[in-house]
Amino acid sequence: MRYIFNFPDIGEGLDEGTILEWYVKKGQDVKVGDSLVKMETDKVVADIPSPREGTIVSVYGKVGETINVGNPLAEIEIEGVHGEEAQKVVAEEETKKEAVEEEGAGVVGTLEVAGNNAFMPASDEGVDAAEVSSASLSHRKKALATPVARALAKELEVDINQVQGTGPGGRVMKEDIKKYKQQSSYKAPEKSTQVEETELVEVENLTQIRKAIAKNMIQSKHNAAHMTVFDDAEVSELIRLRKKFKANLAEEGIKLSFLPFVIKATALALKKYKALNSEMDLENGKMIYKKYYNIGIAVDTEDGLLVPVIKDADKKSVKELAKEIGEISEKARKREITLEDMKGGTFTITSYGSIGGKYAVPVINYPQAGILGIGRIFEAPVVKDGEIVVGNNMPLSLSVDHRIVDGGEVTRFLNEIMMYLNEPVAMLIGT
């Protein structure tokens, strides 16, 4: 029996991926779970496993090509099933596949069917799952749909993002697409004209990461009322404390930068100012205040900006945070980051000081309420005990969604962070 394996929906609303490497070739035997191909999506690089055991008959797509969800990836010959029995097996499998995908957005090897309010926060402290799920769904711009529905939409030349879904959680079903096709005068968009390559320009295809960055930046600017405040934290004592312990931690293979101190200070401040750790569900008229503190850190990689998440930052020591920052940053640079590493962020920190930047206007990681930017520490005159002395200032740039947070609370929140950075002992004992 010949089995056509289509590029599956691997979650997070992804609808396409770029082939980075084939692990198999024609005539090669594979088992269930064997990696077939390495795909780059707009969030992660993932190995796609084989759903069946058999022999590879064909592979579809070359390295560098972009494949849409629902398009064929590989054709597998499965032994022991022939003739009428083969047709019966195929029919049964397709029926089961469609039923399961329509209910649970099938992910090869990791399918979980959880109904309409599926949400798994990193911490279960006081979070209403139904509310969070509702808010998350209301912010999605891409249609929630299965590979079966996406394949049909492509066949009928329907823009699936324009179709109103009637399935669980607003998921677009096959019947929704058929109905939309019948009722609308939809016209397929014209293909854009290719930029002519000459000696005066250099043309490169957009990477999946760059597409995601462009999409997320526009989404944030269109949906949040940005406001940014600037201030300087005097960090001479923090510099002394870091210098004291830096060498000892280096012997354990841990790099102690200023970032773990900033993450710890931010997590403690978020516990006092809940609006900065929230999101707005305007469609349902609700605010969602999160009682878990997962800090996203912007990592600059050769392929673009990635934002892995440090889970439960408030519960970890500075040493634990430094160790985790090193590990997750290395994974991001090697493109070994997983979807799980990117999920669940409640607030984001970006550090441009390491490459010389001082102040900036960071763009909010929507639908979060705020993002903190850290600039390069510089010497400046400060007044201590009535005398002017040389101090060390850390520039801070805090962008917030002004729909959620008022100016007074923004200032108090930033003052709290600066207090911890100015007196790091208070941060370490959690006062």
Q: Which neighbouring-strand residues pair with 17?
A: 67
Right CATH for 2-104 from 3.90.380.10, 3.40.50.1820, 2.102.10.10, 2.40.50.100: 2.40.50.100
Segment 130-151, tens digit of pLDDT:
333 344 434 444 677 766 777 7
The yes-or-no verdict on residue 310 having pLDDT over 70 is yes
Region 302-322: what's the mean pLDDT?
91
Residue 183 tokens read as 């009722």
pLDDT class for 125, splitting at 50, 70, 90? Answer: very low
- 129-195 folds as Dihydrolipoamide Transferase (4.10.320)
DSSP 287-328: EEE-SS--EEE-EEETTEEE--EETTGGGS-HHHHHHHHHHH
Q: Which neighbouring-strand residues pair with 66?
A: 18
Q: Hey, where are the domains in the chain?
A: 2-104, 129-195, 209-429
Q: At what angle do helices 174-183 and 147-155 cross, to 10 degrees?
A: 20
Contact at 8 Å (CB) between 405 and 275?
yes
Q: Which neighbouring-strand residues pair with 38?
A: 21, 47
Q: What is the chain's alpha carbon radius of gyration, rounded to the nearest angstrom?
A: 25
Catalytic residue, chosen from 139, 222, 226, 402, is 402
Give the residue with greater pLDDT, 29 vs 113. Answer: 29
Give the residue with greater pLDDT, 120 vs 28. Answer: 28
| Percent over 70 (pLDDT), the chain | 79
Q: Provide long-range contacts, Cβ within 8 A and 24+ apart, for 55-62.
A: 55/27, 55/28, 55/29, 55/30, 55/79, 56/24, 56/25, 56/26, 56/27, 56/28, 56/29, 56/30, 57/2, 57/26, 58/26, 59/22, 59/24, 59/25, 59/26, 61/19, 62/19
Q: Do domains 2-104 and 129-195 have the same CATH topology?
A: no
CA distance to 7, 19, 108, per residue, from 47 (Å): 11, 10, 11
User: In the prediction, which pLDDT does 233 show?
Assistant: 96
Region 346-364: what's the mean pLDDT?
90
CA atoms within 13 A on the CB side of 275: 15
**What is the Cα–Cα distance from 133 to 130, expressed in whole angstroms?**
5
Q: Which of 89-93, 301-305, 337-341 has the highest mean pLDDT?
A: 337-341
User: In the prediction, which pLDDT does 156 show?
Assistant: 81
Region 376-392: what's the mean pLDDT?
92
User: In the prediction, which pLDDT does 113 show?
Assistant: 30
The yes-or-no verdict on residue 299 having pLDDT over 80 is yes
The yes-or-no verdict on residue 105 having pLDDT over 50 is no
User: In the prediction, which pLDDT does 134 show?
Assistant: 41
Region 384-394: what's the mean pLDDT?
92
Q: Which neighbouring-strand residues pair with 297?
A: 349
Least confident of 193-202, 250-259, 269-278, 369-378: 193-202
Segment 192-240, tens digit of pLDDT:
555 455 678 888 888 777 788 888 888 898 989 999 999 999 999 999 9
Residue 354 tokens read as 């390491």
Give the residue with greater pLDDT, 122 vs 229. Answer: 229
pLDDT class for 430, splitting at 50, 70, 90? Answer: low
The yes-or-no verdict on residue 332 having pLDDT over 80 is yes
CA distance to 238, 269, 293, per residue, from 423 (Å): 7, 14, 22
Q: What is the largest CA-CA distance in the chain?
A: 93
Give the residue with greater pLDDT, 150 vs 60. Answer: 60
Residue 293: count of CB within 10 angstroms of its CB: 25
The CA-based dihedral angle spanning residues 211, 216, 222, 223, taken in that order and rounded to the nearest 10 degrees:
150
The yes-or-no verdict on residue 124 having pLDDT over 80 is no
Average of per-residue pLDDT values in the chain: 80
The yes-or-no verdict on residue 278 having pLDDT over 90 is yes
User: In the prediction, which pLDDT does 137 show?
Assistant: 38
User: In the prediction, which pLDDT does 344 show?
Assistant: 93
The yes-or-no verdict on residue 46 having pLDDT over 50 is yes
DSSP 50-97: PSS-EEEEEE---TT-EEETTSEEEEEE-TT--HHHHHHHHHHHHHHH
The yes-or-no verdict on residue 349 having pLDDT over 90 is yes
pLDDT class for 168, splitting at 50, 70, 90? Answer: low
Residue 35 dihedral angles phi and psi, to the nearest 5°:
-70, 130
The yes-or-no verdict on residue 97 having pLDDT over 60 is no
**What is the Cα–Cα distance from 99 to 76, expressed in whole angstroms?**
22
**CATH code for residues 209-429:** 3.30.559.10
Whether 222 sits among the annotated catalytic residues: the reply is no
